[in-house]
């Protein structure tokens, strides 16, 4: 299939965050004809160290701008100064637990920020067809599944948390700007990501770091909530493919086909830590597992049907859960300075999401 969109200058919002920084690194390394402009407000989860070395390595092909996607004047200047033909929109508040404790910032960033970005793109691009606005979303907009079945691109939205509700709203805005104003867009809804540079409040890096320290491994409820896990590099490849070859106006689900209960996932991490970072007393890491009060509105099961992206674009994940987790554990153990900088200030491993 021939490319339908050939990006030259890509504006990546939220590029200093977890998935965003991995995508920026992927794009710069895989396409020498592309320039990347990163816009990030550097809130608690945006970390300039995630992009360290890119300016020296890629020179004029890489530029970082600190700023808020809700700042309409800044967005207008940025489009006028850098002339992006492509937007990849990662910028979002993304942690369900934090949305329970403080939903207002999720409404502001995820809904109002997406609106501002859409308006800026529309004003800058007019009726051009050689441009693309790609919006990165989540499977959480679909709500909770029963014991069988999987989310498809046509599954009705049924969000359970302030986070997923704000992402659902932003998805609807993107589709509306395509249908009403003709803005060329694509959307992706992904399953749970994991891998390098993930902020340590999320399940997998939290378990790795607590386990390394010999601290309690808190598992919500009975640990039987099921998630599909997607290695971040596989996700970045999928987004790049949708950006270039996906049909404007279409949505593509991206998953890993790796359903696991949270408890089984934590046990897999414990086994890897027993091997790579044994506790001084020889105690198995699994003995650190403790069940704690569940999160309010905790969806029971997510699963992604990836038939469309496989059939139409030929994408499939390269990492299975065993290999991806092994790579992830190794990365965190090898980047303790990165973890310690976060744990000493912005986040100390405290419990979030109790409302």
Integer-rounded Cα Rg, in Å, for the chain is 20
pLDDT at 73 over 60: yes
Q: Which of 40, 97, 140, 259 is catalytic?
A: 140
Residue 295: pLDDT band by 50, 70, 90 thresholds? confident
Q: Which of 58, 62, 163, 252 is catalytic?
A: 163
Is there a catalytic annotation at residue 319?
no
User: Is 271 buried (19+), middle (13-18) or exposed (0-12) by CB count in 10 A?
Assistant: middle
What is the average pLDDT across 226-234?
97
Residue of 316, 163, 319 whose CA lies nearest to 254: 316
pLDDT at 2 over 80: no
3-state SS class at 11: strand
Domains of the chain: 9-197+229-258+297-320 (3.40.50.720)
- The token pair at 192 is 């749970």
Report which of residues 299 and 235 the model is more confident about.
Answer: 235
> What are the residue ranges of helices labelled H in the chain?
18-30, 54-58, 72-82, 96-101, 104-106, 113-125, 162-181, 203-213, 232-245, 262-276, 307-313, 321-334, 336-343
Q: Which helix (H) or strand (E) holds 133?
A: strand 132-138
Is there a catalytic annotation at residue 62?
no
Residue 297, pLDDT score: 83
CB-based contacts of 276-283 (< 8 A; 24+ apart in sequence): 276/329, 276/330, 276/333, 277/211, 277/212, 277/333, 279/214, 280/214, 283/214
Q: Which of 139, 201, 209, 259 is catalytic?
A: 139
pLDDT at 346 over 70: no
Residue 97: pLDDT band by 50, 70, 90 thresholds? confident
Residue 1: pLDDT band by 50, 70, 90 thresholds? very low
Is there a catalytic annotation at residue 163?
yes
Distance CA 302, CA 147 (A): 9
When the pLDDT of each residue in the chain is averaged and rounded to a whole number, the result is: 95
Residue 354, pLDDT score: 60
């Amino acid at each position: 299939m021939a490319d339908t969109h050939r990006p030259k200058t890509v504006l990546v919002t939220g590029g200093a965050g977890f998935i965003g920084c991995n995508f920026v690194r992927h794009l710069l390394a895989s396409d020498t004809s592309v320039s990347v402009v990163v816009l990030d407000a550097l809130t608690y989860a945006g970390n300039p160290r995630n992009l360290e070395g890119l300016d020296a390595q890629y020179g004029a092909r890489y530029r970082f701008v600190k700023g808020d996607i809700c700042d309409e004047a800044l967005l207008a200047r940025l489009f006028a100064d850098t002339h992006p033909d492509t937007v990849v929109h990662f910028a979002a508040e993304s942690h369900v637990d934090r949305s329970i404790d403080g939903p207002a910032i999720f409404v502001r960033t995820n809904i109002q920020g997406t609106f501002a970005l859409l308006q800026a793109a529309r004003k800058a691009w007019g009726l051009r067809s050689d441009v693309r606005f790609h919006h990165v979303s989540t499977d959480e907009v679909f709500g909770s599944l029963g014991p069988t079945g999987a989310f498809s691109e046509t599954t009705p939205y049924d969000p359970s948390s302030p986070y997923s509700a704000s992402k659902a709203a932003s998805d609807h805005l993107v589709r509306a700007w395509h249908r009403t104003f003709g803005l060329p867009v694509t959307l992706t809804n992904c399953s749970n990501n994991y891998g390098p540079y993930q902020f340590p409040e999320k399940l997998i890096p939290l378990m790795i770091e607590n386990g390394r320290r010999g601290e309690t491994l808190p598992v919500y409820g009975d640990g039987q909530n099921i998630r599909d896990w997607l290695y971040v590099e596989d996700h970045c490849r999928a987004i790049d493919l949708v950006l270039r070859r996906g049909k404007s106006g279409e949505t593509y689900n991206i998953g890993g086909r790796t359903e696991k209960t949270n408890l089984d996932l934590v046990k897999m991490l414990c086994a890897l830590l027993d091997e790579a970072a044994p506790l001084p007393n020889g105690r198995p890491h699994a003995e650190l597992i403790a069940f704690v009060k569940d999160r309010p509105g905790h969806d029971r099961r997510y699963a992604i049907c990836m038939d469309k992206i496989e059939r139409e674009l030929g994408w499939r994940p390269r990492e299975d859960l065993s290999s991806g987790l092994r790579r992830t554990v190794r990365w965190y153990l090898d980047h303790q300075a990165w973890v310690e900088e976060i744990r000493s200030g912005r986040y100390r491993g405290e419990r979030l999401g109790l409302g």
